Amino acid sequence: MNEINVGSLPLPAQEDYSYFFSLFQDVLNEMNTNPTAATTTGRNVGDNWRKRKVSEGDSADEEEITTPNNKNRVKEILSSYLLLEEQEKLDQQEWSNDYQQERQIIESNYKQRSQAMLDYYNNLQGYYSDLEESDDQLRTKRSRLSASAVAAAAVASTSDATIRAGGGAATGHHRRLWVKDRSRAWWDRCNHPDFPEEEFQRAFRMGRATFDMICEELNSVVAKEDTMLRAAIPVRQRVAVCIWRLATGEPLRLVSKRFGLGISTCHKLVLEVCSAIKTVLMPKFLQWPDEEKLKNIRNEFESISGIPNVVGSMYTTHVPIIAPKISVAAYFNRRHTERNQKTSYTITVQGVVDPRGVFTDVCIGWPGSMPDDQVLEKSALYQRANGGLLKGDWIVGSSGYPLMDWVLVPYTHQHLTWTQHAFNEKIGEIQCVAKEAFTRLKGRWSCLQKRTEVKLQDLPVVLGACCVLHNICEMRNEVMGPDLRFELIDDEMVPESRLRSVSSMQARDNIAHNLLHHGLAGTTFFQ
């Protein structure tokens, strides 16, 4: 197709264009009918055109309109129009061809995709048919194996009864067909009545009598029934797995070797027994004391320090954990990391103890980046104390806690007076009670000294069980060996707001004055 350039041709206005078309159409028709009159007709056309231009106010004269040049110009315009019309028809034809080609391509692709989809669904249906046949075969095989196992168990029980009826001695545990045979020699030796008491206490951090008491308390919750295919793990062994794991902090693979159980079984037993300790033993051995016990606690703390109305000593420690998958920055402990030159992640354990070092309140599980005062604000003790539980009583804390109506802390500003030094000395004696309790807690239960395999969501239950077992050992006067001594290091952060109550500041000043005035403090300055 040849390219036609019409850009150089002068085109008339829209109204002239329509007029020329009708005019030239008449001329062509007349020329076709009478060729000899073409000249006359052309002149008449020119006259009509001239008359129209004059009527519109055109300044051109008649001679100029009727010149041959204008006639040629009109012919050029007519030919241009015809060329444009032909070009438009060619363009429409080309567009129509392109549209047909694209339509054919789309229809071809659609047919191919439809066929591929049909083939895919046919293959998928055949796969599911094969899978259903495989499932039917597998169910048949399992049913046969189950029937064989039941028959074998019945034969074994019949043989055992026959041996016993015949007077034979049935010695040893009957080995199940599908259970791995593991050695339980160590646990059988520890569980024997002739096992030395000292070694039992070294292994489980408590005497046999305390261990038996715990097993008796947990028996109704921990005990399981035997099944036809295997015997249930005894309660004593279940409790022993948990306590030995908490006491030594050994990995589960070593626990598995000690007790002749699977690793997953040992992990499950630890969580089950810890949950049972929280449910059954915590209400009995870790609760806020009643009024009669509080009276004895006040008297004992006053005999230690001379400060009246003290009902508890408070301390917050950190337990190392593996870096969690969520909220990593919240559990990052910057102070431990800087001191040990090793990245450390921890959770907090806040506890209040009585003069014997027995926990009366614990708050477990807040991230290690939180300072002590924020952990206190998140605890249930804070809510109960603000509700009036500790009205008129004091809980002694370190300098990491703020001074409040019920929290008594030492003076922390510079240039202390003699009276303030004496007061801090007595406050330190009470604070040592809580710190020593946490030292024994971590020394007795070594799982608190290093990162454990327990998941973060299960860790508060395990730590709560450690606190309950600590209270049981303290109440029953279980002695710790010197080799279990643990050095407790927890960095204290001064709270942003050291003073929460003006009346508490006046009360602290009065206590400090009375201690020095009555000769109950400050004696070390004279030595």
Yes or no: say if 349 and 468 are a contact pair by the CB < 8 Å rule.
Answer: no
Q: Sorting pLDDT into bands at 50, 70 and 90, what band is 40?
A: very low
Q: Which of 284, 302, 321 is the last residue of a domain?
A: 284
Give the separation between CA 313 and CA 197, rounded to whole angstroms: 33
Q: What is the domain count for the chain?
A: 2
| Helix 208-222 with 235-248: angle, nearest 10 deg | 120
State whether 280 and 347 are in the same domain.
Answer: no
Yes or no: say if 304 and 279 are a contact pair by the CB < 8 Å rule.
Answer: no
Model pLDDT for residues 222-242, shown as the tens digit of each residue: 999 888 878 899 999 999 999
Domain encompassing residue 211: 184-284
Residue 29 lies in a domain: no
Q: Is it the case that residue 102 has pLDDT exceeding 70?
A: yes
Q: Is it the case that residue 472 has pLDDT exceeding 90?
A: yes
Average pLDDT value over all residues in the chain? 81
pLDDT at 274: 97
State whether 335 and 425 are in the same domain.
Answer: yes
Residue 86, judged by CB atoms within 10 A of its CB (0-12, 13-18, 19+), counts as exposed
Residue 105 lies in a domain: no
State whether 341 and 420 are in the same domain.
Answer: yes
Residue 84 lies in a domain: no
Q: Is it the case that residue 59 has pLDDT exceeding 60?
A: no
Regarding predicted confidence, which is higher, 489 or 329? 329
For the chain, state the CA radius of gyration.
50
Q: Which of 237, 257, 284 is the last residue of a domain?
A: 284
% of the chain with per-residue pLDDT over 90: 51
Model pLDDT for residues 408-454, shown as the tens digit of each residue: 999 988 888 989 999 999 999 999 999 999 999 999 999 999 888 88
Q: Is it the case that residue 9 has pLDDT exceeding 70?
A: no
Q: Give mean pLDDT, residues 446-464.
A: 92
State whether 253 and 345 are in the same domain.
Answer: no
**41-45, 79-83, 277-281, 401-405: least confident range:** 41-45
Total number of residues shown for the chain = 527
Q: Is it the case that residue 302 has pLDDT exceeding 50?
A: yes
Q: Sorting pLDDT into bands at 50, 70 and 90, what band is 78?
A: confident
3-state class (DSSP) for residue 419: helix
State whether 389 and 492 are in the same domain.
Answer: yes
3-state class (DSSP) for residue 320: strand
State whether 278 and 293 are in the same domain.
Answer: no
Q: Sorting pLDDT into bands at 50, 70 and 90, what band is 29?
A: low
∠ CA(95), CA(99), CA(102), 5° rounding?
A: 140
Give the start-end residues of each E strand in 65-125.
none
pLDDT at 258: 92
**17-26, 211-220, 224-233: least confident range:** 17-26
Q: Give mean pLDDT, residues 48-68.
A: 47
Q: Sorting pLDDT into bands at 50, 70 and 90, what band is 77?
A: confident
Residue 474 lies in a domain: no
Alpha helices (H) in 11-67, listed in sequence order: 14-33, 38-55, 62-65
Q: Is it the case that residue 474 has pLDDT exceeding 70?
A: yes
Q: Which of 284, 314, 339 is the last residue of a domain?
A: 284
SS3 string, 197-220, reads: HHHHHHHHCCCHHHHHHHHHHHHH
pLDDT at 147: 58
State whether 296 and 442 are in the same domain.
Answer: yes
State whether 230 and 347 are in the same domain.
Answer: no
**42-46, 85-89, 198-202: least confident range:** 42-46
pLDDT at 497: 77
CA 287 to chain centre: 30
State whether 438 and 326 are in the same domain.
Answer: yes
Residue 463 lies in a domain: no
pLDDT at 488: 87
Give the separation between CA 117 and CA 121, rounded to whole angstroms: 6
State whether 377 and 411 are in the same domain.
Answer: yes
Alpha-carbon separation of residue 98 from 91, 219, 228, 493, 507 (angstroms) = 11, 87, 80, 80, 97
Short-list 462, 469, 478, 460, CA closest to 441: 469
Regarding predicted confidence, which is higher, 78 or 361? 361
pLDDT at 23: 58
Q: Give mean pLDDT, residues 322-333.
A: 91
State whether 265 and 387 are in the same domain.
Answer: no
pLDDT at 38: 44
Highest mean pLDDT among 106-115, 277-286, 337-346, 497-506: 277-286
Q: What's the token pair of residue 401?
A: 């806690």
State whether 194 and 210 are in the same domain.
Answer: yes
Give the separation between CA 211 and CA 384, rounded to whole angstroms: 34
Residue 58 lies in a domain: no
Residue 127 lies in a domain: no
Residue 336 lies in a domain: yes
